[in-house]
Amino acid sequence: MFVLGVTGGIGSGKSTVSGYFRDKGVQVLDADEISKQITDVGGVALPEIAELLGSRAINSKGALNRSYVASLVFSEKNKLDKLSAIIHRYVLSTIGEEIAKAAEKKVKLIVLDVPIPVRHGFVDVCNQVWVVSASDPVRLERLEGRGMDREDAKKRMAMQMTREEYEELADVVLVNDGTLEELYAQIDQAVKSELNERGIRI
């Protein structure tokens, strides 16, 4: 089985690339989606989060109280780091379980959509990493187009790796500074040269 990792900074177009594969029937494991699942009602990460941040971290429905948690952790970096560690551990564990299930079913290709390309549990399980890369002004424009405040968008971008750091990890770089058609043309080319050449058809 070929494990393809797709990553890139916020606003780069990473979700568009993973959506390309999802539309073609490829299983995509989205780290952000898994993160929501494990902190939703009955989520496996909730007991540890409540232990770290107190019972108010869980709302009346039994899911993560996101606004309360955000107010706590973004003013205390230490708590944010601990919270991130809990969530990352469960996300990577879930990804590992899903990869194992797909391998048992003899799936030929699975895609991991991960915003933070950690080495253990992502880079080390991927056969290739494709990085979606875009310039900061383009990313800012996209994030503002989604309704995000400009200063908030800048802060989120600053918390992530730089464009160069992402690209250093890449087996394939998809430059997404232009149109959707231009991005799709690059994906088509990469699919041909990297996947089809290995006998993987989608």
Q: How many helices (H) and strands (E) does the chain have?
A: 9, 5
Over the chain, what is the mean pLDDT?
93
Does a structural domain hold residue 85? yes
Q: Domain tally for the chain? A: 1
How confident is residue 146, by pLDDT bands cut at 50, 70 and 90? very high
Does a structural domain hold residue 114? yes
**The predicted structure's pLDDT at residue 22:** 97
Does a structural domain hold residue 12? yes
The helix/strand/coil state of 28 is strand
**The predicted structure's pLDDT at residue 70:** 83
Does a structural domain hold residue 202? no
Mean pLDDT lowest for which of 46-55, 84-93, 154-163, 169-178? 154-163
Does a structural domain hold residue 129? yes
Q: Are strands 2-7 and 128-133 parallel, antiparallel or unpaired?
A: parallel
The pTM score is: 0.89
Read off the CATH number of the domain in which 78 is found. Answer: 3.40.50.300
Q: Which domain holds residue 36?
A: 2-197
Does a structural domain hold residue 36? yes
CA atoms within 13 A on the CB side of 107: 18
Pairwise CA distance, residues 102 & 53, whole Å: 35
Pairwise CA distance, residues 196 & 92, whole Å: 28
Which pairs with CB-CB distance under 8 Å and at least 24 residues apart come from 92-97? Answer: 92/118, 92/120, 92/121, 92/122, 93/121, 94/29, 94/34, 94/37, 94/38, 95/29, 95/31, 95/34, 95/121, 95/122, 95/125, 96/121, 96/125
Instruction: Give residue-wise pLDDT tens across range 54-83.
Output: 999 999 999 999 988 888 876 777 888 899
**Which residues are CB-contacts of 202 (< 8 A; sequence separation ≥ 6)?**
21, 24, 25, 26, 109, 191, 195
Output the CA angle 12-15-21, nearest 5 degrees.
130
Instruction: Give residue-wise pLDDT tens across range 49-60.
Output: 999 999 999 999
